[in-house]
Amino acid sequence: MSHGLGRAPLRVGGVAMRSTTAPGQRRGAPQGQAARARRWLVVGGLAFLGVVAGILVMPDPGLGVERLDFSVYWGAIHTWVGGGSLYDFSTINTYGQVLAFVYPPFAALVLVPLGLLSLGRAAVLWTLLQLGLTAVLALVVYRTASNPPGPTPWDRRKRALLIVLGLIVSNPVAHSTELGQLSLLVVTLVVVDVVLLPARWRGVLVGVAAAIKLTPLIFVPFLLLTRQWASAARTTATFALAGLLGFLVMPADSWRYWTQLVFDSARMGELAWLRNKSLRGFLARWDIGGAYQTQLWLVLAVVVFVLGMWTAWRHHVRGEEYRAILIVGMLSTVVSPISWTHHLIWLVLAWFVLALEVDRWERNLGVVLVMSSFYYSPPWLPVEDGPVWLAVLGALPLVASVTMVIFGFPGALPKLTRRSAHEVVSA
């Protein structure tokens, strides 16, 4: 039996490490940090409520800045409140595309409180919420960094500020905020579920995200593959309960969605548009496969899906759960028929992982990639009738996603034997 400081040393990479900090100090520091975090949470919550109260009592600001997708959500909810169907409302954007509500009824239930306000007030509140979601993602990026910040408070604040600014000006985050999209909410729910929630609740927020938008269902096979049975069950149960709630509140719309509209990909937009960064969009844009293009896409999608799940599993068995879910998130954008630029938040988060690595080569690569995600960078420009070189650059986000999905994060995946994998899984 050991006494006092004579406890067993911690082993890191096979090297014995012994802490020089007294036990009382080791307990006190986390307690102090937790207390400060609670205080900031209370202050932030009160400030947010104050801003919401101010918006509700001030004169209607009008829409002001275009929030096109959010306008569709708002209009669909108003149509339903007025006795119509969510899926009967539509509007036309500047490209002549007919925009309609394409999500399950549960997504509308989540947005009903905003739909009961004027469009101007609702758009302001939704924008503030999206900025808050961006701050949450920045917190996750900060906490999961491999390379710690410098020792001073200024070093930590500088890194936090750079992460927030980098996310805000990246095309996927900025475009999602500009349109008032649901993408930020969906990604944040999944990331918070895996990184911040206690183990006994994991899977619940993934189920909520999937009930809002179906693509997070791709995490269910990953959870099953990695033998996270309880999390997979919670995800499936939450998704089913949310769908049931949609049926209870909106029976006609729910029946229409789950029996008809869920199979109608034409409501999402044109496959060949440059803004579609999926594998299916690439094949359509360059007319690859001809009459057998759909079959070619299905074969390639299955191959990439299997390889991507294998890569995510290998990260998981090494204890790199955050990297594993980023791989699965990027995989969802590759194999989905349509992945607009605001869906690629997963890719930007992966690039931040590289930018905050210890290894200098990986860190420099990550910094360059993060900088390339700037809103007006050529690979992200939605110029449909531009020169060929711009269309070629427009494929780079897809190439980057496929590369990371297949090969994983650089230097993170040495070969695993069957025995070593079994030992890690059983640990």
CB neighbours of residue 406 within 10 Å: 16
Contact yes or no for 340/275 (Cβ under 8 A): yes
Tokens of residue 324, six digits: 């594993």
Going by their DSSP bridges, the two strands 15-17 and 90-92 should be labelled as unpaired
Whole-angstrom distance, CA of residue 100 vs CA of residue 359: 46
- The pLDDT of residue 98 is 79
Q: What is the pLDDT of residue 45?
A: 61
pLDDT, residue 298, reads 96
Cβ(247)–Cβ(211) below 8 Å: no
Q: Among 91, 88, 101, 40, which residue's Cα sits nearest to residue 66?
A: 91
Measure the CA–CA gap between 408 and 312, rounded to whole angstroms.
Answer: 8
Residue 52's pLDDT is what?
55
How far apart (Å, rounded) are the C-alpha atoms in residues 126 and 110?
12
Residues lower than pLDDT 70 in the chain: 1-67, 94-96, 411-427
Contact 81, 247 (CB under 8 A): no
Whose structure tokens read 């593959």? 225
pLDDT at 47: 61
Q: What pLDDT sits at residue 95?
A: 66
State both tokens at 181: 């999209």
Query: Whole-angstrom Cα distance, residue 236 to residue 242?
Result: 10
| pLDDT score, position 48 | 57
What is the percent of the chain with per-residue pLDDT over 70, rounded to a whole number?
Answer: 80
Tokens of 364: 């420099």
The residue among 219, 412, 244, 227 whose CA lies nearest residue 326 is 219
Structure-token pair, residue 42: 């209370």
Q: What pLDDT score was predicted for residue 151?
A: 78
Take residue 16 and report the two structure tokens written for it.
């014995």
Q: How many angstroms separate the CA atoms of 288 and 297, rounded? A: 10
Structure tokens at 173: 């985050």
Cα–chain-centroid distance for residue 231?
18
pLDDT one-digit tens code per residue, 371-414 = 999 998 999 987 777 788 888 999 999 999 999 999 999 864 44
